[in-house]
Chains A and B, each alone.
Chain A
Amino acid sequence: MWITDKFKVVYYNLRSDKRMVRKIVFGMTIVFVLVICFTTVIYSYEKYKDNFNKKHKKDCYYYSEIEEQLIDDGLMSKLFDKSEKIRVTYSAGSAVTICDLVNRDKKEVMLAGSTRIEVENKRHSAKYMSAMAVSAAVGENVVNDISPIDIAYFQKGMKISPVPGRIDIQGNFPDRQGEIMLDDYILKTFGLELPSETYIGKTISLLYQEGEQFHYLLKNYKVSGVFNSSLLSLRESVWTSDPHLEHLYVNLRKKDRKEFKISNGSTRYYFNDYSEYVANHDNSGDLIHLDLEQVLSGTGEVRITPKGMEYCVLYFLMENVGKIILMLGSVICLILIFSIIYLFSFYWYRQKKYRTMLLCIGMQKSDQKWIRVLEIMVFILLAFVLGSYFSAVLLMLMNFVSTTALGFPIRLM
């Protein structure tokens, strides 16, 4: 049988049973639309979850507080060991340790109005910009004389950024004793306007006013590096009760250590994703059941931020509701495929006599198989074209609704 004859037979077959053809094509179109829409929504949903993780990372972490203590040789190794154990227990991605330093005699934090930075024998006092207070980023907290100037203690091996390597720094961390690292914001606030890299390698001192006298708190520390203050915006959340806005990180000389003590601090454990937050939380059940009183009254040493709780539960719900919807979608697809097979069998049953007649007048069985395959291909082609069109329309509509109502864009692949 010629191929053109086969096409002719297919054409006449389809024309002779238009109603059934419409039904089959319509059914297959729905399956195509469902498959395309489901795949796109699931793809967008996964992307959204990834972004959700990144977007809220700074708001969500566990933290354990570091109590007031003196600085000795074994302090940091003790802290590192402890934080590593907790990090492994909670499957955290990175642990950030921040220890606030205060002068042992003073017992209070330094205030901007009483602090001077001395660079090569020239003292600089803080200058405040009124605009700062209005459009301040999270780390831009030095706005008047009584703003605190926090200093953090640093030792080699400490991490200060939640995303390893995500810190914009010129020079190096203060890995050696007698070194200090500042951010560009504090330099600017104290009128050190030259390009940041100019200060690297220079010695600076920090002075504090008591009465009329200025005393050296840190004398002749070498600037090892200047980091971008945007780190604080990336790390510090406005929602947490555990803020750390240190602009100076200092590696104290051994002889200076007795002058200072650690006033407070915390080790934060940032997670790779929220499922781990939920799975590893001490009160995981209470958290998901929203028994917040129980969660907050927990006596555990490691605590979670309030936003951390909220987003954990949200993420957990998104994951589980997503699974239920996926299961429902799969069952619906199965039903539709089953229906189409049923329709096909009905379609062929209706043509049974006609096909038998074709066989009687000499058509080969192999030709008949070909005709069936061609018919199926025509159905698939028609359904694909229609399905693509309807999917595009439906996805655009869904994109509009989801973006307007939920701020969740459906990404067309």
Chain B
Amino acid sequence: MRLYDTLRLVKNEFRYGKMEWIVSMILQILIFSCALFVLSLALDMDRLGDAYLHKLYPDGYEFSFRGYTRDDRSELEEMGFHDFSLDEEDGIGKINEIKGLWLKKIKAVIKGRDIWNSEIDEFVVVIGLFQVVFGIIAILLLFIMINNLSNSFSMKLMRREYYIKMLSGLGCRKLEIERIYYIFFSIRNLLALFISLAINAGLALLFNSYIANLLGISSELDVMRIKEGICLILLVELMMVIIFKKVWRESNVDNG
């Protein structure tokens, strides 16, 4: 089958069952946008928190160490600490930002050590919890979206069962028919993903102006998450291929 014919058949697919694919796409856009925004918050929360708190600690945050000796100086320097005062087991040092600090604290605890500052420890813990909870929510949303995608594929193939059999009867190879639906779903997915990226950019802009006006935070959420967007596109397209193959195998169109 020529590429032109394939594209014409794909175009036909968009005309058929409009209600279903539009509803499915709206759902996909909602989930993508929400997942991206929650993920953005999870990734940038510590940076925003640091930007807010930094006004109170312009010279850096002073932390106390327990269990670190002079030999661990290089390790602490790698973590970003400076201006040390270390003795046998305890010490103090400064760090310029608290971004990702809760992870460093966890690593220290695992090694039986401690890095602490009684004034901002609670703040760091709250940020850590936020990041974990928001990260989990974003992953769960992606799972829900994958489930919805799978249902959407099944529904489409069920509705087009006779049509696919007809195409097959007319001499189209299964691979060619599969390709029509790959392209159809890919276009839908990419469209949903790009709209979601645009919505996420809008939400991020709103959020940035909200926190700038409200709290005077100069740091911002990344508006265009190119890297995460590309990763998401690759992930979703890969998932789509896997899900589609599974649904195709299970459907009557492949069996009959």
**How far apart are the CA atoms of A350 and B141 in the complex, in Å?**
25
Q: In this complex, what residue of A is CB-closest to B140? A: A30
0/1 string, A319-356, CB within 8 A of B gives 1: 01000000010011011101100110010011000000
Within the complex, the shortest CB–CB distance from A146 to chain B, in Å, comes to 33
0/1 string, A23-50, CB within 8 A of B gives 1: 1000100100000000000000000000
Within the complex, the shortest CB–CB distance from B22 to chain A, in Å, comes to 12
B144 A336 Cβ-Cβ under 8 A: yes
* Complex interface: chain B residues within 8 A of A291 (CB): 55, 216
**How far apart are the CA atoms of A289 and B54 in the complex, in Å?**
11
B27 A338 Cβ-Cβ under 8 A: yes
**Which of the four size classes fits the interface of chain B?**
20 to 34
A292 B56 Cβ-Cβ under 8 A: yes
0/1 string, B135-155, CB within 8 A of A gives 1: 001001100100110010011
**How far apart are the CA atoms of A3 and B56 in the complex, in Å?**
70
Q: In this complex, what residue of B is CB-closest to A286? A: B216
Within the complex, the shortest CB–CB distance from A109 to chain B, in Å, comes to 35
* Complex interface: chain A residues within 8 A of B137 (CB): 328, 332
Residues 277-299 (chain A) with a chain B CB within 8 angstroms: 285, 288-292
B27 A339 Cβ-Cβ under 8 A: yes
- How many residues of chain A have a CB within 8 Å of chain B? 27
**How far apart are the CA atoms of A331 and B34 in the complex, in Å?**
8
Within the complex, the shortest CB–CB distance from A32 to chain B, in Å, comes to 15
Stretch in B59-67, B122-130, B162-170 with 4+ CB within 8 Å of A: B122-130
Residue B189 CB within 8 A of the other chain? no
Residue B196 CB within 8 A of the other chain? no
* Complex interface: chain B residues within 8 A of A332 (CB): 34, 137, 141
**How far apart are the CA atoms of A339 and B140 in the complex, in Å?**
13
Q: A328-B34, A332-B34, A406-B122 are in contact. Are A342 and B158 (CB under 8 A)?
A: no
B34 A290 Cβ-Cβ under 8 A: no
Q: How many pairs of A and B residues are in contact by the CB < 8 Å rule?
A: 67
Q: A406-B122, A406-B126 are in contact. Are A346 and B30 (CB under 8 A)?
A: no
Q: Of A285, A328, A338, A349, which one neighbours B155 at CB under 8 angstroms?
A: A349
Q: In this complex, what residue of B is CB-closest to A405? A: B125
**How far apart are the CA atoms of A335 and B147 in the complex, in Å?**
13
A346 B151 Cβ-Cβ under 8 A: yes
Residues 37-59 (chain B) with a chain A CB within 8 angstroms: 37-38, 52-53, 55-56
A346 B155 Cβ-Cβ under 8 A: yes
Q: Of B122, B141, B151, which one neighbours A342 at CB under 8 angstroms?
A: B151
Residue A132 CB within 8 A of the other chain? no
Residue B95 CB within 8 A of the other chain? no
* Complex interface: chain B residues within 8 A of A23 (CB): 147, 151
Q: A331-B30, A335-B34, A406-B126 are in contact. Are A290 and B216 (CB under 8 A)?
A: yes
**How far apart are the CA atoms of A130 and B8 in the complex, in Å?**
96
Residue B115 CB within 8 A of the other chain? no
Residue B110 CB within 8 A of the other chain? no
Residue B187 CB within 8 A of the other chain? no
A289 B147 Cβ-Cβ under 8 A: no
B125 A406 Cβ-Cβ under 8 A: yes
* Complex interface: chain A residues within 8 A of B53 (CB): 290
Residue A9 CB within 8 A of the other chain? no
Within the complex, the shortest CB–CB distance from B225 to chain A, in Å, comes to 17
Residue B231 CB within 8 A of the other chain? no
A335 B215 Cβ-Cβ under 8 A: no
* Complex interface: chain A residues within 8 A of B27 (CB): 335, 338-339, 342
* Complex interface: chain B residues within 8 A of A359 (CB): none
Q: A288-B215, A328-B34, A332-B34 are in contact. Are A339 and B144 (CB under 8 A)?
A: yes
Residue A401 CB within 8 A of the other chain? yes
* Complex interface: chain A residues within 8 A of B151 (CB): 23, 342-343, 346
Residues 166-215 (chain A) with a chain B CB within 8 angstroms: none
B126 A350 Cβ-Cβ under 8 A: no
B158 A338 Cβ-Cβ under 8 A: no
B158 A350 Cβ-Cβ under 8 A: yes
Residues 256-296 (chain A) with a chain B CB within 8 angstroms: 285, 288-292
0/1 string, B7-24, CB within 8 A of A gives 1: 000000000000000011
Q: A331-B30, A343-B151 are in contact. Are A289 and B129 (CB under 8 A)?
A: no
**How far apart are the CA atoms of A349 and B19 in the complex, in Å?**
14
Within the complex, the shortest CB–CB distance from A395 to chain B, in Å, comes to 14
A289 B34 Cβ-Cβ under 8 A: no
Residue B240 CB within 8 A of the other chain? no
**How far apart are the CA atoms of A401 and B27 in the complex, in Å?**
33
**How far apart are the CA atoms of A30 and B137 in the complex, in Å?**
12
Q: A332-B141, A335-B30, A336-B144 are in contact. Are A288 and B216 (CB under 8 A)?
A: yes
0/1 string, B156-195, CB within 8 A of A gives 1: 0010000000000000000000000000000000000000
Within the complex, the shortest CB–CB distance from A6 to chain B, in Å, comes to 26
Within the complex, the shortest CB–CB distance from B188 to chain A, in Å, comes to 15
Using a CB–CB distance below 8 Å, which chain A residues touch chain B? 23, 27, 30, 285, 288-292, 317, 320, 328, 331-332, 334-336, 338-339, 342-343, 346, 349-350, 401, 405-406
Q: Beyond A23-B147, A335-B30, list 11 extra A-B contacts (CB 8 Å).
A: A23-B151, A27-B144, A27-B147, A289-B55, A290-B53, A291-B216, A342-B27, A346-B155, A405-B122, A405-B126, A406-B126
| A–B complex contacts, Cβ < 8 Å, 9 sampled | A288-B216, A289-B216, A290-B216, A317-B215, A332-B34, A332-B137, A334-B30, A350-B158, A405-B126
